[in-house]
Structure formats: C-alpha cells, structure tokens
Amino acid sequence: MAGILCIAGLAFCVWARATLGRNWSGTITLKEGHELIERGPYRLVRHPIYTGLLAMFLATAITFGHLGGLVAVLVAFASF
C-alpha cells in the first residue's frame, strides 16, 4: 500500500513538472511570457509538486513505521 502511495506521489510530481513546461525554474524568477498554469494537476491543488513530495514522505514514514517519521512528515507539511 505504501509503495503505491509513493509511486502515485512521484507520478503527481512528474505530471506537475511536465505541465509547467518552460515556466518551471529552480529559482523564483519572472520570465517573459510567464503564464499562470490552471490545467492538469494545478486544477486540483495549488502546489502539486509539494503535494506529491508529501505523499512520498508519508509513504516512507508508513513503510518504516516510526513515530519520528510521521512527525517529520508534519514538519515538512508545515514548512511547505
């Protein structure tokens, strides 16, 4: 079950990145012709890459089964 959650989180991240296309950047920048993306996973959530990462973190915490892992997921959620 956790493996499926991890793969789904990764797929959501990849889908979001592909949807951004040339609008993606490793740093926050204003580009010429920049557009607000409202299709694909951005139609579902505001930050799908972060959402996918959180799903992968949660799957890892579930797999290892340590309380500290779940606390770490909550800390990551708060930081995003």
Predicted confidence (pLDDT) per residue in 31-42, tens digit: 787 888 999 999
Residue 79 Cα to chain centre, angstroms? 13
User: Lowest mean pLDDT: which of 17-21, 29-33, 43-47?
Assistant: 29-33
Give the pLDDT of residue 55.
Answer: 96
CA distance 53 to 9: 6
Whole-Å CA distances, 55 to 18, 38, 47, 73:
18, 21, 13, 9
Q: For the whole model, what pTM was predicted?
A: 0.85
Residue spans per domain, the chain = 2-19+39-79
